[in-house]
Amino acid sequence: MAAKAEPIIDGEPVTNEGSTDTIAAVSTAPGRAAIAVVRVSGPATRGIASALGLGPLEARRATLRNVKHPETAEGLDRVLASWFPSPASYTGEDMLELSSHGGAIVPATMLDAVCAAGARPAEPGEFTRRAYLNGKLDLLQVEATLDLIDARSPRLRRAALFALERGLSERIEALRASALRLQALIAYDIDFPGEDDGPLDRNRVSDAAEALSGDLDRLLSLAPEGELLREGALTVIAGRPNAGKSSLFNALLGIERTIVTEVPGTTRDAVEALISVDGYPFRLVDTAGIRESDERIEGMGIEVARSYLGQADLVLLCTDVGREEAEDDSDTLASLPEYPGPDRVINVQTKTDTVSGFIRYPATRSIGISVRTGEGLEALRDAMLTSVFEGLQDAGEVPLVTRARHTW
Ligand SMILES: Nc1nc2c(ncn2[C@@H]2O[C@H](COP(=O)(O)OP(=O)(O)OP(=O)(O)O)[C@@H](O)[C@H]2O)c(=O)[nH]1
Ligand SMILES: [Mg+2]
């Protein structure tokens, strides 16, 4: 990681009063596991290590040790203990990491012992908060840490790691420096118009302003896609009953998740699953087929489908290629107030294996697929990617803003 980070977003230097208490937490997820990690941070860490009977520890070297309870002296576990003296630690404070055995009991026992020796349980995010307050991470890096932990797609993992390594911070710092240079040029022009050096060349100011605004536009233009990387693009599979929506949902998911039958009106509720296409996340939703229906439960399903349509980042509008009135389907959906508009819709013609000499539906974006033969599924995945994440794909590995806050 780069040199000591300064908080850069608020522009105000953040002062750390210095924590007086020592915090501890089991940092690994609960459940049956080979190991668990208990972290301790704060001024009492050294004393806690000694109360647990760890003996002398070399800085930043994992050492095998027996841990005993500070009050009862009962042996608790054999652990790998790592000691990180301040300031070269994650939080900037004295820190101790105990890699104990995992499972339901051992990590809790470790935490209990550490607290009996003088620590208190940490609040959620408190280690990272201290790292921020001690200038070890800037705010963008804190958010990147969260994104990295929560990443549900390989692309977000890469973007988050880039931001954690200060790629995004450095980009923002460069933009800020350009803005300050521009401000200085303008101030010079206003304050000293008649100086010996002569007036400032107007082009210098306008060129600098244009360059800055171009850089900002480039960063912000990818913001909507960056945000979708965190949650996944809401991709709604819609169409008339029996169009093959659930079959497509299962095919994209790779498992038989929803019920498929030849009876129109099979799917009643919306079923959601996260899939990754080439490392990019899509929240896929299978919905009830949309038609006029007096049947109460089907009607409710249709309402749910319509509300999903209204929020969709992308709609896969399915039409059974064999149906004679197929061409009316897109008109029926397009007349709904929730319909998102053609640039967010891919027309999918289903069941191409049932017709010989499949003829392309005369719509701009239309892909023929068959879940029986697999035809067109790869082309559909490509179209989904380009529809939602084209900018990111073209941009390659660049700093990315992934939260609405970044665009304020
Ligand atoms: N030959 C063929 N049949 C398909 C294909 N896709 C779906 N089907 C059949 O079409 C029928 C309806 O499929 P579903 O996936 O249940 O359709 P749906 O749009 O989810 O239907 P509802 O939930 O009722 O709205 C089933 O009998 C499927 O086996 C395909 O690619 N080829
Ligand atoms: Mg269905």
DSSP string, 143-175: HHHHHHHH--SHHHHHHHHHHHTTHHHHHHHHH
**Alpha carbon of 307 to ligand 1 centroid (Å):** 23
Q: Is 243 in the pocket of ligand 1 (CB under 6 A)?
A: yes
Domain of 52, CATH number, reads 3.30.1360.120
- Contact 253/284 with Cβ under 8 angstroms? yes
Give me the pLDDT at residue 12, please. 44
Is any atom of ligand 1 closer than 6 Å to the C-beta of 246?
yes
25 token code pair: 């937490």
Residue 309 lies in a domain: yes
Interval between CA 242 and ligand 2 midpoint (Å): 7
Q: Can you give the pLDDT at residue 193?
A: 61
Nearest-atom index, ligand 1, CA of 242: 21
Do 267 and 325 lie in one domain? The reply is: yes
**Which pLDDT does position 4 carry in this prediction?**
46
Same domain, 62 and 203: no
Ligand 1 site, residue 351, Cβ cutoff 6 A = yes
Sign, Cα dihedral of 295, 297, 301, 306: positive
Nearest alpha carbon to residue 43 among 21, 61, 26, 64: 21
Question: Would you tell me the crossing angle of helices 377-395 and 245-253 to the nearest 10 degrees?
Answer: 60
Res 282: pLDDT? 95
Query: Does ligand 1 lie within 6 Å of residue 350's CB atom?
Result: yes
- Site to probe by mutation for ligand 1, drawn from 260, 298, 369 as the one with most ligand atoms within 8 Å of Cβ, is 260
Contact 147, 162 (CB under 8 A): no
CA nearest neighbour of 407 among 96, 92, 175: 175
**Tally of CA atoms within 13 A in the half-sphere of 136 that contains its CB:** 16
- CATH code at 263? 3.40.50.300
Question: What CA–CA distances, in Å, run from 351 to 175, 216, 236, 244, 321?
Answer: 52, 46, 19, 7, 6
Sheet holding 95-101, edge to edge: 63-68, 75-84, 95-101, 35-41, 23-26, 120-121
| Residues 235 and 127 grouped into a single domain | no
DSSP 206: H
Do residues 278 and 185 both lie within one domain?
Answer: no
Which of 237, 240, 242, 250 is the pocket-test mutation for ligand 1 (most atoms within 8 Å of CB)? 242
**Domain range for 101:** 23-137
User: Are residues 191 and 254 located together in one domain of the fold?
Assistant: no
Considering 180, 195, 221, which residue would you say is the last residue of a domain?
Answer: 221
**323 and 287 in one domain?**
yes
Q: Which of 247, 267, 320 to mutate to test the pocket of ligand 1 (most atoms within 8 A of CB)?
A: 247
CB 5 within 8 A of CB 14: no
CA distance 401 to 125: 21
**What's the pLDDT at 34?**
96
Of 137, 171, 204, the residue that ends a domain is 137
One domain for residues 216 and 266: no
Residue 120, helix vs strand vs coil? strand
Ligand 1 atom at minimal distance to the Cα of residue 241: 25
One domain for residues 170 and 296: no
Question: Which pair of structure tokens corresponds to residue 4?
Answer: 């000591």
Residue 152 Cα to ligand 2 midpoint, Å, equals 26
Residue among 264, 263, 279, 267 at smallest CA distance from 237: 267
Predicted model pTM:
0.76
Q: What confidence score (pLDDT) does residue 11 get?
A: 41
CA distance 117 to 108: 14
| CB of 402 closer than 6 angstroms to any ligand 1 atom | no
Residue nearest to ligand 1 atom 11, measured at CA: 262
Query: Is 216 in the same domain as 235?
Result: no
Expressed in angstroms, the distance from the first to the final Cα of the chain is 27
E strand or H helix at 317, and its extent? strand 314-320
Q: Is 112 in the pocket of ligand 1 (CB under 6 A)?
A: no
Nearest bound ligand to the CA of residue 260: 1
Number of domains, the chain: 3
> Is 7 in contact with 14 (CB distance < 8 Å)?
yes
Distance 266 CA to ligand 1 centre (A): 10
Measured from the CA of 260, which atom of ligand 1 is nearest? 16
Any atom of ligand 1 within 6 Å of the Cβ of 260: yes
The tens place of each residue's pLDDT in the chain, 408 residues long, gives 444 444 433 444 444 456 789 999 999 999 999 999 999 999 999 999 999 999 999 999 999 999 999 999 999 999 999 999 999 999 999 999 999 999 999 999 999 999 999 999 999 999 999 999 999 999 999 999 999 998 888 888 888 888 888 888 888 899 999 999 999 888 887 776 665 566 677 788 889 999 999 989 888 888 888 889 888 999 999 888 899 999 999 999 998 888 888 888 788 788 999 999 998 999 999 988 777 767 777 777 778 788 888 899 999 999 898 876 655 555 667 777 777 877 889 999 999 999 876 655 554 468 999 999 999 999 999 999 999 998 888 877 777 777 777 766
Q: What is the pLDDT of residue 359?
A: 58
Residue bearing the CA closest to ligand 1, atom 13: 244
